[in-house]
Structure 1
């Protein structure tokens, strides 16, 4: 019996089952009270050992941990956007007692959670959990640049593109601080937004786009309105045209007052002050008259500009052609046989009237020698070569040059030309 007891004890220990010594002693006493034959004794021992082994196996099977749940968990996908809420029910249901009428293989159990705890991901990035908020913000900016009507949500990715704060969206466009705009005015439009473009619409026609964080200059080319559309915001700017005109009046006769050339211009149509311009030409204002001195030019262009009652610029330009150039109003030739000193001698008429210091030189075109020189406006040349004392032959051509000692503003220092001699 001791051998049987030891065998039974080892079997139970191998299956990690408790050994009850009192129960074995009770069984031993009952077995010792009978004297069965050796055959029956062996059969009884074998049956007892078999019963113990079968019972141990059944107990081990019923209490062994199941691996089915671990297999399901290993095949369950991980959803980073959902966080499982802690179990609030104190009652734990035994999975062996639960009856499932619809078998599902490897189906993870989804726990309910409030909608506010779910973090939404833009559709474009739904399958790419590695994209962070900075990439979403950059993509939002790129979309707005391609589509000016795109409006970034206030719940879009955080982080300003400039200073690390929240993105600036839906801010109004910045324009020059002018109360009114007129046709022809330049308008600088700045976009202070990080992710929204500004659409510039003139009279219901798109004329340009201002990208986020940039500036652009536009011309108010026609009367009407210019709209600046920033997402859901819209600004309207009025553009006016001048309500008055300027008219330039001119007498194209070249006057030589005191030997100086002058063309006079006046303007009408506007009572506001007028600003005149003649480019590089010498000019001056005198009693509301604009006077231009064309010392060298044969064509004159002047511009008059003013403001109307709306503050819009009124501009008028006029160009005239003169019949001749000034050139000190010098004659083209002299007639030695004329009894009139103004015709029989050579002296530029302007020098006789201007009372300005000068030097006059007469050159022989064949030799290049100076044949006459003077600084006296009353001493005109009479056609005689001072080197020989002889009158030049009829039809001779000489070259003359005047150098001014004190030219007027805008006037050249030298004048020059040719002269034909007539002796009979």
Structure 2
């Protein structure tokens, strides 16, 4: 906009009053020294006042127009700098040329405004559009944060969502877990539920036998053969429980045998060609050429178990229990007969020590006093009933105690054996 002083100057220079001959004559007389008439003096004062009023009205009118244009430009600048899309100045007093694009690009010089009411305004300055955060808008010096209606708040582990056949989204339900691939009657079945909200139903023969809550595990015993369904949400999987298809049969000779002075009971099995695993309760045992040999060093009760698997992988198990007629005690005699000509009868030495090649110590004690009356480490030197402390033969029917301490016992064998001996002299 032009300077207001220039506009006022041009207005006053172009202003021209109409020619009045009477006024000119009056002015000439004043210059000649004559006094003008009162009528012409009043007319000159009125013309001067009119000229001043016209100039003042024109000055204040143009000043008001300039203030309005400045206000419109300031409003357009605020909106342009605080919005994501540059806005054009649509003031009624100052409209941009219709040749401008609908979406002006930044850094492009703007065309000058056309004439407004006959007066040409100053061109709009070129302004670069700043980088504005789309989540914050400043209107009238106030910051406004728009509400994002599409935002989602995640709490905990987000659910997996997948589209179904109709294109709608549904929560992805995880399948239940089990501890084995195959099950047999008698097995422990562990069911795990990895889901956060859905429970797992364990169904057999159309009956729910177990419910597993989200994020937990439960175990139950497979008591019946057949199919078991694990149902969670829209997921279903089936596990199968099989019954063993083969049986084992154990054979045994209950006669206590002594092999090299060591007790041995032999067990064999039939009914399954698969490998068999043997265990013996409270006794050591060994497998020799398909025969399980148990060494019962103490006690009369012997219990063994044979285990195998059938074609379905299910266990086949058989247990055999027997009672021996006597307990192994180094196969020692119960007494001695001093009148017998057989040294095996007339002297005392455990028969197992004669057959076993193992170091030992044999002690004979007086049952009444607890004194040692005989001691040897030689299996060929049996006790003949004489008290070595006195050199006398014990009386008929005397009772003595014996103890053997092994220097190198077999696996599972006790180190000491004990017993009693009755002396017969008549």
Q: Same fold (TM over 0.5)?
A: yes
Give the Å deviation of 1:227.
1.4
The 5 A counterparts of 1:95-174 are 162-165=156-159, 170-174=173-177
Q: Could you report, residue by residue, the CA deviation over 1:69-103 in whole angstroms, capped at 9, with x for unpaired residues?
A: xxxxxxxxxxxxxxxxxxxxxxxxxxxxxxxxxxx
**What residue number does 2:281 align with?**
279
User: In 2, distance between residues paired with 1:173 and 1:165?
Assistant: 17
Asked whether the equivalents of residues 158 and 165 of structure 1 are also in contact (C-alpha less than 8 Å), the reply is no
Q: Which SS does the other structure have where 2:330 is aligned? A: helix
Asked whether the equivalents of residues 189 and 215 of structure 1 are also in contact (C-alpha less than 8 Å), the reply is yes
User: In 1, distance between residues paired with 2:205 and 2:322?
Assistant: 38
Seen in structure 2, the aligned counterparts of structure 1 residues 199 and 416 have a Cα distance that, compared at 3 Å, is: same
**What residue number does 1:302 align with?**
304
Seen in structure 2, the aligned counterparts of structure 1 residues 361 and 323 have a Cα distance that, compared at 3 Å, is: same
User: In 2, distance between residues paired with 1:182 and 1:159?
Assistant: 44
User: In 1, distance between residues paired with 2:219 and 2:153?
Assistant: 31
Give the Å deviation of 1:159.
5.5
1:176 aligns with 2:170: no
Asked whether the equivalents of residues 299 and 320 of structure 1 are also in contact (C-alpha less than 8 Å), the reply is yes
User: In 1, distance between residues paired with 2:269 and 2:153?
Assistant: 62
Q: Could you report, residue by residue, the CA deviation over 1:349-375 in whole angstroms, capped at 9, with x for unpaired residues?
A: 110111211000000011110000001
Asked whether the equivalents of residues 169 and 196 of structure 1 are also in contact (C-alpha less than 8 Å), the reply is no
Q: Which SS does the other structure have where 1:329 is aligned? A: coil
**What residue number does 1:197 align with?**
199
Structure with the higher helix share, 1 or 2: 1
Asked whether the equivalents of residues 351 and 377 of structure 1 are also in contact (C-alpha less than 8 Å), the reply is yes
Asked whether the equivalents of residues 200 and 230 of structure 2 are also in contact (C-alpha less than 8 Å), the reply is yes
User: In 2, distance between residues paired with 1:164 and 1:330?
Assistant: 79
User: In 1, distance between residues paired with 2:400 and 2:215?
Assistant: 72
The 5 A counterparts of 1:217-366 are 217-366=219-368
User: In 1, distance between residues paired with 2:417 and 2:208?
Assistant: 57
User: In 2, distance between residues paired with 1:205 and 1:302?
Assistant: 39
Asked whether the equivalents of residues 169 and 193 of structure 1 are also in contact (C-alpha less than 8 Å), the reply is no
Q: Flag the structure with larger Rg.
A: 2
Asked whether the equivalents of residues 158 and 166 of structure 1 are also in contact (C-alpha less than 8 Å), the reply is no
Structure 1 residue runs of 5 or longer lacking an equivalent are: 1-156
Seen in structure 2, the aligned counterparts of structure 1 residues 158 and 242 have a Cα distance that, compared at 3 Å, is: farther
**What residue number does 1:128 align with?**
none
Tell me which stretches of 4 or more aligned residues in structure 1 moved more than 4 Å. Answer: 157-160, 164-169
**What residue number does 1:374 align with?**
376
Give the Å deviation of 1:196.
1.4
User: In 1, distance between residues paired with 2:193 and 2:153?
Assistant: 19
TM normalised by structure 2 equals: 0.60
Give the Å deviation of 1:186.
1.9
Aligned residues: 266
| RMSD across aligned positions (CA) | 1.8
User: In 2, distance between residues paired with 1:315 and 1:374?
Assistant: 48
Seen in structure 2, the aligned counterparts of structure 1 residues 203 and 317 have a Cα distance that, compared at 3 Å, is: farther
User: In 1, distance between residues paired with 2:229 and 2:348?
Assistant: 71
**What residue number does 2:60 align with?**
none
Q: Could you report, residue by residue, the CA deviation over 1:24-44 in whole angstroms, capped at 9, with x for unpaired residues?
A: xxxxxxxxxxxxxxxxxxxxx
**What residue number does 1:100 align with?**
none
Give the Å deviation of 1:164.
4.5
Seen in structure 2, the aligned counterparts of structure 1 residues 203 and 367 have a Cα distance that, compared at 3 Å, is: same
User: In 2, distance between residues paired with 1:403 and 1:247?
Assistant: 40
Give the Å deviation of 1:298.
1.2
Give the Å deviation of 1:232.
3.2
User: In 2, distance between residues paired with 1:217 and 1:159?
Assistant: 34
User: In 1, distance between residues paired with 2:249 and 2:241?
Assistant: 24
Seen in structure 2, the aligned counterparts of structure 1 residues 204 and 333 have a Cα distance that, compared at 3 Å, is: farther
TM normalised by structure 1 equals: 0.60
